[in-house]
Amino acid sequence: MKIYDISVELPYTPVYPGDPGIELIRIDDIKNGSVYNLTQISMSLHAGTHADAPLHFIDDSASIERLSPEIFCGNARVITIYKETGGIEKSDLEPANG
């Protein structure tokens, strides 16, 4: 089985509408005399490629670390859709349904 990483690189991934954007804040920088570079990241858990665990919708249910990775593996079709603006709509997917 071939495995595809479909993750979108942070901070270039869209965030869920209404959620705060992704912020990268440089804390320490070698260029400014520090002995290391350190960056802080601030983001909503809805940013980036992710899976919502049952706990997201059902109180006292399984959190993501309690889910087996195998449930996220299987057959899939990977397609690329380029859009300047807006979300992916059903009509964007229909040409790939062949």
Phi, psi of 46 (to 5 degrees): -85, 0
* Residue 90 three-state SS: helix
Q: Confirm whether 46 is a catalytic residue.
A: no
Please identify which of the residues 19, 37, 49, 56 carries the catalytic annotation.
56
Task: Give whole-number Cα distances, 31 to 25, 34, 60, 81, 88, in Å.
Answer: 15, 7, 47, 39, 41
Whether the link from the prior residue into 20 is cis, omega within 30° of 0, is no
Q: Which residues are identified as catalytic?
A: 56
